[in-house]
Amino acid sequence: MTAPTPPKTRQRTVLRHVRPSDVRGAAQLASQATLGVINIAEGVHQSVLRRLGFSAGATPEHTSGLTGQIYRGIRGVTHLVGNGLDGALALLLPLVDDPTTHPNASPEREAVLAALNGVLGDRLQSFGNPLAQRMELRQGGQVLPLAPQALKAQLSQPSPHLLLLAHGLCMNDTQWLRSGHDHGAFLARALGCTPVYLRYNSGLHTSMSGRELALQLEQLVAAWPVPLERITLVGHSMGGLVARSAVHAAREAGQRWPGLLRELVFLGTPHHGAPLERAGHGVDLLLASSPHTAPFAQLGKIRSAGITDLRHGHVLDADWQGRDRFASPEDHRTPLPLPEGVACFAVAATLAPKRGLLADRLMGDGLVPLNSALGQHDEPARRLVFARESQYLTYRTGHLDLLSSREVAAQVLAWLSPVPDAGA
């Protein structure tokens, strides 16, 4: 029987993954969370007072009179404490949190940050929280510089074929390695291409991430050490939406790199949304239907813009701009077909052992239905037309299993491999 780990050893293990900047970020989150709880408490208080007829001079969310003054006082103290702590940590961090002393962050810390950004990334960025992740192009766990000489020094034997891999919601670039398999490394060995991994804040709107990816790819192409001949984008889950958005944004801006784009590969991408986000929206509506539970609907609105974009599969600014993203269940998307002149491939997975109503409509890969992953839609204008030979369905496979599936890797390789010359 294994002896339990001593408390001090466990504490040292946890602290090994924590940086001083994480403490500042956590302090900001704690302050904001406290304010959120105060708002919910006051909302419940006010709903009760309103039912009893004691709501003169108040708003639906805030109480009035002495009660309102008490709540405002609590908020004021919370702001003072939060701002004071944040200011003190801001002065100390440059002295103790030199990024050069942390060249390789632990996988545990990276995974936690990726998940946190997926759920709260838009809020982290809007508050300037140091836990908010920046978009980076990476290889081997290192950020790739976008200056020509620095990039040349960091890349070993760059290929004229660039393979870019974009992760999904709440994930990061290191998580392409799963169960000992990495699609990027596998394809690099088989095709002689150079893999580059995208890391981004998956809590932001997909169109915002797509636009930033388009800009960074343009810089990367300009700095690439050898003349580029071919670009392939592979996106898992949300990463596929970000890739589609990036191609559209780049073409709208007249950027160069889409002219080199030859293939787009989608692995379990929710082109028409994911039911779990729609279920979350349904919970919001139920909570808001009663004056007593309405204040708790704020809890549902914690989820990020990136998550709500998955309700229907947003890829454009017009899909969400000017609308309350929590208000309407309707699909307001502007139809965006697959990019012309690019070979597009879709891999869909199902947990079912064979295809049928359960596999198609209800189960899918546990997160994304088959029809959504294959771009199929009841409205012809919204359908994404993948050629029959450009679709692949794998059974008894979950959403994350798409990353470790050798079967999927072999199919993607077959799609990307050069077609043999019939005359040879």
Q: How far apart are CA 369 and CA 270, in angstroms?
A: 8
Domain stop point among 91, 125, 148:
91
pLDDT digits (tens, 9 = 90+) for 270-314: 999 987 654 444 334 443 444 543 444 444 566 789 988 988 999
Domain stop point among 74, 91, 108:
91
Between β-strands 181-182 and 177-178, what pairing exists: parallel, antiparallel or unpaired?
antiparallel
| C-alpha torsion sign, points 60, 66, 72, 78 | negative
Residue 317 lies in a domain: no
> CB burial class (10 A; 0-12, 13-18, 19+) of residue 249?
buried
In CATH, what number is assigned to the domain containing residue 160?
Answer: 3.40.50.1820
Looking at the fold, whether 68 and 170 belong to one and the same domain comes out as no
Looking at the fold, whether 344 and 406 belong to one and the same domain comes out as yes
Taking 90 as the threshold, does the pLDDT of residue 115 lie above it? no
Residue 96: φ, ψ to 5°: -125, -10
Which residue carries 């810089």 as its tokens? 219
Taking 50 as the threshold, does the pLDDT of residue 109 lie above it? yes
Looking at the fold, whether 84 and 164 belong to one and the same domain comes out as no
Q: For residue 273, is it left (φ>0), alpha (ψ between -120 and 50) or beta?
A: left
Looking at the fold, whether 228 and 163 belong to one and the same domain comes out as yes
Q: For residue 381, is it left (φ>0), alpha (ψ between -120 and 50) or beta?
A: alpha
Closest by Cα among 261, 227, 231, 264 to 346: 264
Helical residues (DSSP H) of 224-335, grouped into ranges: 238-252, 275-288, 297-300, 305-309
pLDDT digits (tens, 9 = 90+) for 351-386: 888 776 655 555 688 889 899 999 999 999 999 999
Stronger pLDDT, 392 or 307, i.e. the higher one? 392
Stronger pLDDT, 92 or 197, i.e. the higher one? 197
Residue 201 lies in a domain: yes
Which residue carries 């990726």 as its tokens? 114
Residue 101 lies in a domain: no
pLDDT digits (tens, 9 = 90+) for 170-203: 899 999 999 999 999 999 999 999 999 999 999 9
Average pLDDT over residues 15-25: 49
Residue 144 lies in a domain: yes
Residue 254 lies in a domain: yes
| Helix-helix angle 20-52:65-96, to 10 degrees | 170
Consecutive H or E run containing 42: helix 20-52
Residue 37 — pLDDT band, cuts 50, 70, 90?
Answer: very low
Residue 131 lies in a domain: no
> CB burial class (10 A; 0-12, 13-18, 19+) of residue 230?
middle
Looking at the fold, whether 268 and 411 belong to one and the same domain comes out as yes
Looking at the fold, whether 29 and 159 belong to one and the same domain comes out as no
What does the pLDDT read at residue 396?
A: 92
Q: How far apart are CA 362 and CA 370, in angstroms?
A: 9
Determine contact, residues 161/191, Cβ cutoff 8 Å: yes
Looking at the fold, whether 68 and 153 belong to one and the same domain comes out as no
Tokens standing for residue 364: 């899918």
Q: How far apart are CA 102 and CA 140, in angstroms?
A: 15
Looking at the fold, whether 183 and 67 belong to one and the same domain comes out as no
Domain stop point among 66, 91, 116:
91
Q: What is the residue range of 147's domain?
A: 136-273+333-416
Q: What is the DSSP annotation of 53-101?
A: T--TT--SS---HHHHHHHHHHHHHHHHHHHHHHHHHHHHHHHH--GGG
Looking at the fold, whether 366 and 263 belong to one and the same domain comes out as yes
Number of folded domains that form the chain: 2
| C-alpha torsion sign, points 185, 189, 190, 196 | positive
> CB burial class (10 A; 0-12, 13-18, 19+) of residue 279?
exposed
DSSP secondary-structure letter at 227? -
Looking at the fold, whether 264 and 371 belong to one and the same domain comes out as yes
Looking at the fold, whether 142 and 196 belong to one and the same domain comes out as yes
- Per cent of the chain over pLDDT 70 is 65
What does the pLDDT read at residue 114?
A: 84
Q: What is the DSSP annotation of 21-37?
A: HHHHHHHHHHHHHHHHH
Of 31-35, 273-277, 330-334, which range is least confident?
Answer: 31-35
Looking at the fold, whether 249 and 343 belong to one and the same domain comes out as yes
Residue 320 lies in a domain: no
Residue 423 lies in a domain: no
